[in-house]
A and B are shown apart, each in its own frame.
Chain A
């Protein structure tokens, strides 16, 4: 059984959410320039978030959870790229037309049905990452696809939305955000759960990323694209893993998440056999602050100094569960710790101690005996301790109970964050549709057939079609995939189409133009074609070809036709060459070489150099050999 077969047996399913920044000058709902800053901010404001009702009358689960955390949210501001819109002190301006047109083009490129009328919605985020408390977002297209291994990977929908703030720090009840990234236009591509093993997740992630990049319509570089993966296995539930910076990480992340869900289902089965459910799990709570003053433990010591509370919760029937592995190096206890860290803001680890794990947070076996006795534990029960400010500790205990009850049901719907090596930690409850409501500040935008026709005419060919075409012309997959996302892609395509030169050689040549912009490359396309044809006709040497490309890439030494002229092959039978051969021969007559070959090579090299590479190497060699 291959590794991938294993995931198929688990009923592995994975969907992708790819967030790609669009290449625009300005932000989506205001006229601030879209760029990052890393110097000292010019100012800052402080805000808080409260949950509100969605259109259908419900409080969203994520929204409520985030309200429990009661964070002071600081926003750092730059005068140059944050205005009153980023401060949520002014309503949105009309949606950025450039961004919308890019989004519409990408929707068509991804084979989506474009909506007839764009409706901006508000998606609530109470974590503070957006000062309004919601992200303005709109569906641009639905029902698209990309080709993969002879089948179609379905794209359920495509959204144009504003990017959120960058998080600077998150410590206890204080979270700091930077507003430069806020409101930059972002495209969200959401696929159906069509990926059936971790390799597919990784490959499709890369494929969609490539199509977007190859369009030339999106931003490049660090932070310009972020991937989320949604994973579930049979009997498990959808878990979203946020902010994977590289597509290649999605393979490992999804594999480990599948294992995690399998482990949680195992725990569920154990608890079911023990008869533990939301009725039988009482979760009795104990204030242990003053009970163990004599115990030697750094946490007890620290709590005394800080005036903290130490409290415990008895989890009926959970003995042995805490130490069950769920991820590499992570136990079920870490699932609880993650919740406590985020929801109770007890973010200094360790933040809990569990009776299943000896020496957990420094509590000795003897200490646990006393604690268990104090809490009236049966041998089947487990105890979880937590410590800190009383409000936070109370929140923590409630949350531990919630998570324990969820364990009796299997896999809770969560958003998790990658913490390296494919391992994840809790970030928040997975938000539902309840957090969506219409943005009354933005009027609907009509998307007419005429508008779409005009945009369609400007559409580049999708990357997968270009690659397919180039491969048929003899390009290797590796070169085709590199070329398609390069700035030289359009030029590469023309050269592959219009010349007979091997695509591998074309790519080697075009790499020398990596510093040039689109305007230069495409404006001179005809000259580049002439250049390669001149090379094919053997009117210039390969060295000259590369030399011209390198000079063009540096933007120097005149026009390309001039350079071709200057690099014209020298007639090796000319008197000039004859004279030089004679000169170098006499010059080297007294020099000692290891062999005649070395002597010939030396002379050929001198002649080549004298003509700047503009001589046919084999021809010169023939003439030099003649006389040696």
Chain B
């Protein structure tokens, strides 16, 4: 093998550096070489794999012929003989997505995330598979539901989504609605799916068609992934349901049984890893859905319309922050926000909506300086009730506005959206407190708060009988 300069190193020695890279060069072998290696300990055979860039520079990764990977200390290698070369081309089988004029048109807008993906074992990362052909290769059942078109807007992890992407997404949805599609599916990482769902609920109003957000909690590179089922449910909802709302479509129970459709403003990711992580807070979900069937739980949702018009209203002032209150919070937390020019503060207060006395003065100054301060509850369930205690009344006197049962993240998104329109105190307040998509509800149903506790006899009995 010829000597390589460093520019070629990354191409030939994918991910190797330092000691390991030097040793590979000395031995005259490269990534994808099928090698026989002798070391101080014994003999190894296999294909040299790329190395994760975050891993150390001491080991060489070998894929043995039985499929296992092992790491070998580069310095312990005595000899290495290349007996072949096996470069891997990892690809989801791509086939043309079949089109049927009888079937509704659905557009899948991609933002990133792992709704359909493949593995990049150079970095160990999961790479999204996205074109209709790739999706058809991975989830062929989609072709039974609709004609699918896909548009990749971004390829980012959900934690990197923000106002800029929300606005782009809202506009793209507007274009699709105008085109007359039957429904829109948005593939999204799950971490901030509920933030984006809230943003779209305000930026895309009066949609004539379903706008369904979907993701997966177990990446689609594993056989037990929830991705295929989520995608089938979401695409079916977009294509065939009469539910013209911004919704999140994710697992209902942790079993593969049905998905829930959650209203975009009432949904929250509630578990770091469970499949059934998304829960409607303070209300019941809109509907249960499985491919081919939707069972409404609420009846007051907006119905699908034949027209092609929606109110696309994308604007956002990002000088807004959430302050999650904790005991002994110091005034400088609030002061620093004002000093840094923040115009909106959403407080996640304790209990019915409280903060400690030392914050009163900085909050008063914040309001005086023109900031819009809204109170939500960190209990997530229930309403802000600032009349119950004097402390609440004192806070309102300072200009802190109770935001009823709006979830803190939703209040954050809505305040940014409202401030994108106006900074007029009364107008902002009117926008904030006038519900658009049930972000504030007039009443909380008795079964809007259900967190079952394991170990309690009636729950254990229930769980034992059900296939959860």
A548 within 8 Å of B by Cβ?
no
What B residues does A133 contact at CB under 8 A? Answer: 222-225
Q: How many residues of B contact A (CB 8 A)?
A: 62
What B residues does A124 contact at CB under 8 A? Answer: 223
What B residues does A122 contact at CB under 8 A? Answer: 222
Q: Which residue of B lies closest to A120 (CB)?
A: B69
- A-B residue pair count with CB separations less than 8 angstroms: 170
Q: Which of A115-138 contact B (CB under 8 A)?
A: 115-119, 121-124, 126, 131-134, 137-138
What A residues does B223 contact at CB under 8 A? Answer: 49-52, 63, 124, 126, 132-134
Query: Smallest CB–CB gap between B434 and chain A, Å?
Result: 39
Of the listed stretches B249-257, B260-268, B377-385, name the one at the interface; the rest are far from the partner chain. B249-257
Separation of A91 and B126 alpha carbons in the complex (Å):
15
Do residues B70 and A45 form an inter-chain contact, with CB atoms below 8 A?
no
B218 within 8 Å of A by Cβ?
yes
What B residues does A446 contact at CB under 8 A? Answer: 56, 58-59, 71
A433 within 8 Å of B by Cβ?
yes
Separation of A432 and B66 alpha carbons in the complex (Å):
8
Query: Smallest CB–CB gap between B47 and chain A, Å?
Result: 9
Do residues B71 and A116 form an inter-chain contact, with CB atoms below 8 A?
yes
Do residues A440 and B124 form an inter-chain contact, with CB atoms below 8 A?
yes
Do residues B69 and A438 form an inter-chain contact, with CB atoms below 8 A?
yes
Query: Smallest CB–CB gap between B437 and chain A, Å?
Result: 30
Do residues A53 and B90 form an inter-chain contact, with CB atoms below 8 A?
yes
Do residues A123 and B67 form an inter-chain contact, with CB atoms below 8 A?
yes
Separation of A403 and B68 alpha carbons in the complex (Å):
30
Of the listed stretches A36-44, A210-218, A296-304, A360-368, name the one at the interface; the rest are far from the partner chain. A36-44
Chain B residues touching A, majority SS: loop
Do residues B126 and A121 form an inter-chain contact, with CB atoms below 8 A?
no
Q: Which residue of A lies closest to B274 (CB)?
A: A89
Q: Which residue of A lies closest to B227 (CB)?
A: A50
Q: Which residue of A lies closest to B253 (CB)?
A: A45
Q: Which one of A89, A116, A121 lies within 8 Å of B69 (CB-CB)?
A: A121
Q: Which of B72-121 contact A (CB under 8 A)?
A: 72-73, 76, 88-93, 118-119, 121
What B residues does A91 contact at CB under 8 A? Answer: 273
A32 within 8 Å of B by Cβ?
no
Given contacts A42-B464, A435-B67, A446-B56, contact A55 B91 (CB under 8 A): no
Do residues B454 and A53 form an inter-chain contact, with CB atoms below 8 A?
no
Separation of A369 and B22 alpha carbons in the complex (Å):
75
A256 within 8 Å of B by Cβ?
no
Do residues B224 and A47 form an inter-chain contact, with CB atoms below 8 A?
yes
Given contacts A47-B255, A53-B92, contact A117 B119 (CB under 8 A): no
Of the listed stretches B37-45, B160-168, B315-323, name the one at the interface; the rest are far from the partner chain. B37-45
Identify 27 residue pairs between A and B in the complex whose beta-carbon atoms are under 8 Å apart, listed by A's number. A44-B466, A46-B257, A47-B224, A47-B255, A49-B223, A55-B63, A57-B90, A89-B273, A89-B275, A90-B272, A113-B39, A113-B41, A116-B71, A116-B76, A119-B61, A121-B68, A121-B69, A132-B222, A134-B223, A137-B68, A139-B70, A142-B43, A432-B67, A436-B67, A438-B124, A446-B56, A446-B71
* Residues of B participating in the A interface, judged by any CB pair closer than 8 Å: 39, 41-44, 55-56, 58-59, 61, 63-73, 76, 88-93, 118-119, 121, 124-126, 217-218, 220-225, 228-229, 253-257, 271-275, 454-455, 460, 463-464, 466-468
Pick the 10 closest A-B CB pairs, nearest first.
Answer: A117-B71, A133-B223, A113-B42, A436-B67, A433-B67, A113-B41, A116-B73, A119-B69, A143-B42, A46-B255
